[in-house]
Amino acid sequence: MDNNVKSYRKPYVRPVKANWWTDRSFYIKYMLREGTSVFGLIVALEFLLFIVAILLNPIQGAYFITNFFANPIVILVNVIALISVMYHTYTWFNLMPLVVRMFKSKEPTDTKLIPAKLMVIALWFAWVIACVVIGLVLAFIR
């Protein structure tokens, strides 16, 4: 098409505000979900710290860890982290079924997918089992 065509267009592009995510509760929840991953990071760093401490010196390391956890600020941070990570888990468990699209059977006429709810329940079930196993292992170590 000719480039010398006159156009009367003057499209208006709306500016993107920095606080766009406060417009809808859905976006706020999304930002919260993403924000909770920061606490996931903190927990991971804690673990890393412990491992390094134990590897450097098992006795002093264990002493350090015990002291570290006695600190009220650390306790507070870990309580918040627990809640955050639980929320993160909750949101991810709700989203997980979307990535799995499975039919109830292999019959060519079966058009019913395994319902998302069932998968969410299965995930929480697996979570509970994992918690119990870890708890038992820890109890055994002591």
Contact positions vs another protein (CB under 8 A): 1-2, 5-14, 16, 20-21, 23-24, 26-27, 30, 34, 95, 98-99, 101, 103, 106-111, 113
Q: Please identify, using beta-carbon distances, which residue of 12 and 140 lies nearer to another protein.
A: 12
CB 65 within 8 A of CB 47: no
CB 36 within 8 A of CB 85: yes
Shortest distance, position 45 Cβ to another protein, whole Å: 23
Shortest distance, position 124 Cβ to another protein, whole Å: 20
Shortest distance, position 66 Cβ to another protein, whole Å: 39
| Burial 88-112, CB ≥16 within 10 A → b, else e | beebebeeebeeeeeeeeeeeeeee
Q: Please identify, using beta-carbon distances, which residue of 23 and 68 lies nearer to another protein.
A: 23
